Structure formats: C-alpha cells, structure tokens
Chains A and B, each alone.
Chain A
Amino acid sequence: DAKTTQPNSMESNEEEPVHLPCNHSTISGTDYIHWYRQLPSQGPEYVIHGLTSNVNNRMASLAIAEDRKSSTLILHRATLRDAAVYYCILRRWGTGANNLFFGTGTRLTVIP
C-alpha cells in the first residue's frame, strides 16, 4: 500500500484557517485520499475524501495537487473542538478488501 507522510504536529490559533499537509508520492490511479481525525479518548471520525478534484463538506475542504502526489486538508476556522490527531490515508478502490492503514498522523493543537 502506498504510504503517506505528515508532519508530527501543528499549531493553530482559534478561529484561523488551518492547512494540514500530506505527501503521497507513490499514489496510484485508483487510490482515494481519505482524512480521518481522532479526538482525545474517541474512535477515529471520517472527515473527507477525494480522488482528483477538490472536495468540500460541512467539516472541511480537501485540496488535491494536480499530480496527486500531495493533498491539504483545510479547516476554515479552527475551533477548540478541532484539536485532534488528523490522519491522511490512501484507500484503494477495487476488488478485495479495502482496508484503512493508519500512520501516526498530525497532532493539531488549537490555541485559544
């Protein structure tokens, strides 16, 4: 499975935008880019996913580079509730089991 690389930690001020980067230089054509987050003492929570085009939902936006070798999760206005570990994961579409393989993610600290 293709690997992703994320910074170990990032900080943001409350109510400011946050850009969380992810590198996935070995991505294949059928790999979707997924983002999950894990709040303290909780299970991971789905945030957003995309294939080639930028995606928006109520939680965040996902910007995907034209060559798909990197992506950025954008939180438009960070709140204290957004403090979590954010995981960037590649999920291959197709036959067979399509498991999620987690790295260590980026720990986001939101400063009041």
Chain B
Amino acid sequence: NAGVTQTPKFQVLKTGQSMTLQCAQDMNHEYMSWYRQDPGMGLRLIHYSVGAGITDQGEVPNGYNVSRSTTEDFPLRLLSAAPSQTSVYFCASSPFFGEGIGGYTFGSGTRLTVV
C-alpha cells in the first residue's frame, strides 16, 4: 500500500506562476484534505473533500482551488503564486466518519518556495 502520495516533493515558483500540487491515495478513503504548515506553526486547513464531486473551504482557502473528480485524487491548484504561499503543503485522507472514527493518513509533503 502506497498510502498518500504527494508530488512534487520540492518546487520553486516565480510570483504569478501557476501550478498544481498532486495528491493521490490508494486506500479508497472518502475524505481528503490539504493543509499548509509555516515555520514553527501547526498545520492549517486549506480545503477538504468528503467525496468525489464535493469540496469545501477550510481555514485559509484564499489563493487556492481544488477539485475532486475521483475518489483517489485531490489536486491543489495555485492560480497565481505569491510569496505568502511559501510553505510546506500536506495532503491527508481518512475513511468517512460514519464508518468508524480512525486516524488520518498524511503524505510526506511538498515544500514550495515562491520567489
């Protein structure tokens, strides 16, 4: 089992460029989410999805878009990168709540620098 796979691991963007951070899970989890983590801080929720075709905003959604066309994939798009989006990004997945409350599985992260 690969778990949650994030690509790329590292990325440098220029201000104004766009890119997509990829996240895929092979555990058939309904729930997926994106977090960002700035130095010395905890994780903050960007967007989440409770199933294919359903997404919603988290705590810090501005500047990011998401879509969920399949159960497996949950890409995060930066339409016009800004230096304030320099951060480490984590994707996570879990079974839907009603099937038993368990833990989230996190990816290993994407370290993004916007110059």
Q: Mark B45-63, 1 if CB is under 8 A from A, else 0.
A: 1001010000010110000
Q: Are B50 and A97 in contact (CB under 8 A)?
A: yes
Verify if A103 is at the interface (C-beta below 8 Å from B). Answer: yes
* Among listed B14-22, B73-81, B99-107, interface-contacting one: B99-107
Bound CA–CA A46/B92 (angstroms): 11
* Among A34, A41, A44, A46, contact of B43 (Cβ-Cβ < 8 Å): A44
The interface stretch among A20-28, A61-69, A70-78, A86-94 is: A86-94
B45 touches A43 (CB 8 A): no
- Residues from chain A with Cβ under 8 Å of B35 in the complex: 102
Specify which of B42, B105, B109 is in contact with A42 (CB 8 Å cutoff): B109
Query: Which residues of chain A are near B40, meaning CB under 8 Å?
Result: 104
CA distance A101 to B43 in the complex (A): 7
CA distance A103 to B41 in the complex (A): 8
Q: Which residues of A are in contact with B by a Cβ distance under 8 Å?
A: 32, 34, 36, 41-46, 49, 87, 91, 93-95, 97-105
Residues of B within 8 A of A (CB): 4, 31, 33, 35, 40-45, 48, 50, 56, 58-59, 90, 92, 97, 101-109
